[in-house]
Chain A
C-alpha cells in the first residue's frame, strides 16, 4: 500500500509543479504532510488556485487515490484517512463537485471489472457521505480494467491499479 502511494505522490507533485509554476525547476522528493484543513494560499509559486483541481491534487499529496485488495472494495484505515482528507477539502470548498473513478487491475474479466470498479467508487462515495459530504456532490464512474496507471503485469502494478481516484470538477 505504501509503495504505490509514494509513486503516485511524486508523479502528481511533478505534474502539478510543471503545470503551475514555470519557475519551480523540480518537485521536492518528499514533502511533510500538510496540516488539514489548509485554510489559505500562502502565496508561494508552488501553490495552485485555491479550490481548483490542481489545488486538490497538490493538497492531497497522493491521497486523492485509495487502493484496494484483489476483488475487494472495503475501506481500510489508510483509505479512511485519505477520504477524510478529501472530505475536509470538500468541506472547505462547498460548491465543488467530484467524480470518483473506480478501477480494477487487469487480472479480472472485463465486465466483472466494470462492476467491481463501480462498487469501489461507490464504497468511497458512501464513506464520504458518512463524513457529511452531500451525496449530490459526488458522482461515480467505473473504468474497470480499461485505464491502468501502472503498466506492468505484476502484483506491484496491480496493487496500484486497484484504486478509486477522486477528481474535482472545476
Chain B
C-alpha cells in the first residue's frame, strides 16, 4: 500500500449537502421533516410555526415554515437566499445549504453548491422530470458535487405507485449518466407524510433502498477530495521575533489537497525554489504528517523568500503556472460584465488583476446548448478565457476543487461579481 493512499480527508463525521427544487416541490417540507423526525427542532421553534400556521388558517402545522428566514421572505412566502441549517445524528453532523430553485437564483445554487459533497434534487412525482430538474442537476455537476440524490417526492399523491417512480427514473437516468457524477441514488418519498425520509413508513414497501437519512448517514465521501497532490497555499507568515524564536519562520495555511510529511521535498511556486519540510506544527503539537483540510504551520530547512500567495507543493502531479487559462464562469452580479474592465481575481491566497479576454460561448441552462454571447448578465454560465497580470498556480477544477476555483471582484464596487472553475483542456 502506498503512503498517499493511506491518508486523506475523513468526511465521515461531517456531510455538507444542498437541496434544490422549487417551492412547489416540497423542498422546505422535506428539510422540515428531516429536522423534525431527527428531533433537531426545538419546542419554541415548533410553537412559533404552529402559531403562524394557525394565523394563516392552515389546519396542520406547516413544517416548511421552519426554513423561512428573513422578514421579506415570510411576507412573500418564498425563499430568496441561501440559508444554512444544521442537524446532528449519532452518526454524522450535517450542514444543509438550503438554496432556492427559482430561475433567477442560479447564483444562489452555485454559491450553496460550492462547498457541498452532495445535492438532493427534488422532483414532484405528479409532474416528473422538469426543465428545472435538469438545470439543477447540471449546475450541481458543474460545481463539482460528486453525489446526487433524486428525491421523488409527493408519492402520496400518486398512490405510492412503483410504476411512476420507475418511469421518472428511466426518464432522468440517461441525462444524469452523461453528467459523470460519482454516484446517483433515486429515493421515492412523501415528505408530508414522512415516508422514506427518516422513517421507512408503511406505504413504500416495494422500495428496497435506504430511507433518505440513512443514506445520508452512510454515503462514503472519502474519495471526494484529491488525496494525491499536495497543495499548500501560504496564508500568513509567522515571525514572532522574540529572543527565544529569533529565526523562526512558520508558513501558515490550510492543506487544500493531498498530504505532507516531515522530510518531504517541497517546491515553492511560482518561484520554483526547493527545500524540505522541517516541522509540521499545530498549536502545541508537532505532527509527523498533515493532510487536507488541516490548518497547520510548516517550517522548512532553508531560508527562502516565501510570502502570502505562494504555494508549497510536493508529491504527485505538478500544477500549472500561467497567466492565461480557460474557465467556466457563473456571473453573479446584477451589473453586467464589462469587457473594458479589469477585475480582481482571487485564487487560493493570491489576488491579481485580470480580464476576460474572450467569451467562447454561453450555456443555455435549460437545454445545455451553447450559444454565442458578447456579454454576461446575472445567472449566466459561460466558458471564457482569462488573462491575469501575474502568474497563478492552478489546477483543473475537476481534479482539484481548492486550487481550481476563483472569484472575480469588481475593483470599484468591491462586489463579488463572478465565480470561476478552471478547465484548461
A and B: partners? no
Interface residues of chain B, those whose CB is within 8 Å of chain A, are: none
